[in-house]
Structure 1
Amino acid sequence: MNTGVLFNQIFLMFCLMLLGLLANKIKFIHEQTANDLTNILLYLVSPCLIIKSFEIHYSAQRLDQLLLIASSMLIIYSLQILCSKLIFHAVTDPRLQRITKFGSIYSNAGFIGIPLVSSLFGDRGVFYVS
């Protein structure tokens, strides 16, 4: 993969985030509008992008790759859960302990990761990343 394309896409997303921040600072977008746009992105656009990526022709090779990725992710999540229990065991506040464990196990890769992978690798990349 060309790293120039990757940096270009990240720069473009950064510019869009800055535009949103600027629109919020000058009160062009109100808090409720920002919440509504976030909900549209999370509950409509992202699921449609994922569903579209799964509309591909069946092949045994793709199924094998999907099963390999799924089993790898189960192992990785298990290791993350174990590590977070060991690392954050010393945190005494149970609420803070839950938050730190959750934050260290589950990333927010879907919010930025799926659009980035979509622009770099198309539907095939979204199929594997989701």
Structure 2
Amino acid sequence: MRHVIALDVGGTGMKAALVGTDGTLLHEARRATGRERGADAVVETILAFAADLRAHGEEHLGESAVAAGVAVPGIVDAEKGIAVYAANLGWRDVPLRALLTERLGVPVALGHDVRTGGLAEGRIGAGR
């Protein structure tokens, strides 16, 4: 079944889902962010979680995700795909979109967590 990876990175935890192209929720998962291990470890945790989600789709849905969307806190340059700064995660200038694209092999959208949450509410939630 065709689907995308949705990943919301928070200061202490991450929430994720595999979502069908028609908006159907196919799988949900959570994982600790692990910020106490440092910024590099947080980035690796995000990359590993996304790869695990891709593998879950391949195993249980019969195919790999066609794209991924990732929301992160802090200052984000969505156009360049860079997580510029997040005090609670300790990172600066992380090329997260490029890292995820390389790891997953699919197009990745990177956005600010609050902005992407508002967009989602407007498109498919209470703001519809």
Q: State whether TM-score is above 0.5.
A: no
> Which structure would you say has the larger Rg?
1
Question: Greater strand percent: which structure?
Answer: 2
TM-score, normalised via structure 1 length: 0.25
TM-score, normalised via structure 2 length: 0.25
Question: Greater helix percent: which structure?
Answer: 1
